[in-house]
Amino acid sequence: MNVEDFKTGQVILIDKPLQWTSFQIVNKLRWAIRKKFNIKKIKVGHAGTLDPLATGLLIICTGKFTKTIEKLQAEIKEYTGTFTLGTTTPSYDLETKVDQTFSTNHITEKNINEATKLFLGEIKQTPPLYSAIKKDGIRLYELARKGETTTIESRKITIFEFEITKIELPNIDFKIVCSKGTYIRSIANDFGKALNSGAHLSSLRRTKSGNYTVENALDPLEYIQKNISLN
């Protein structure tokens, strides 16, 4: 591809590796395009962030296609991952250490599958304190890391599908199809409560967004090598 391709606009499908931030990937691609074509500016943005501890489909737009980001963000998403029952963390995932433990002796396969029904359809969800949502101009995770607490308003989201794909206690694997703005970490925390126990998200992978799937995505460095070779 040449510089005009990127300026006119590209939709780039990236399979985000573990520990990378969405912002780091955007910066990496922007830097590679600028260096390759010796240009000062190029618009690059992503259509929906993924946490550092999540992997999977990250949609990147360049040039004029950055105008479509809002539309792409609104698409229905599909995720797979694992909840670990019996323990909770302040961040609802592995970013923070376990803070409480609960019994799982009473939990059965039937309990688990029945609990998924409580989450189907339009529901209200409270986002995690460890999130990028801003309150009074400050991101919530910044407050959380200082040990401060605040009131977080619940939001309406829609869960279209919630399937348990494997049960190997304390871990249960799932597939969830949901609307924009859904926090799978919050579902993990609420799912633990629904089972009269606790739970946190121990792995997460975005597999689909709208008509785009992770099967067609590339590792960021592989994409750069194939399409923005710096040699």
Residues 178 and 114 placed together within one structural domain of the fold? yes
CA distance 197 to 212: 36
Q: Residues with catalytic annotation?
A: 51
How much is the average pLDDT of 4-15? Answer: 94
Q: For 24-81, what is each residue's pLDDT tens digit?
A: 999 999 999 999 999 999 999 999 889 899 999 999 999 999 999 999 999 999 999 9
CB 50 within 8 A of CB 16: yes
* 28, 112: one domain: no
Alpha helices (H) in 164-219, listed in sequence order: 184-194
132 shares a domain with 85? yes
pTM of the model: 0.91
Question: Do the beta carbons of residue 44 and residue 64 sit within 8 Å?
Answer: no
Residue 51: CATH number of its domain: 3.30.70
Q: For the packed helices 220-227 and 22-37, what is the interaxial angle rounded to 10 degrees?
A: 20
Residues 126 and 24 in one domain: no
The domain in which residue 140 lies consists of 77-209
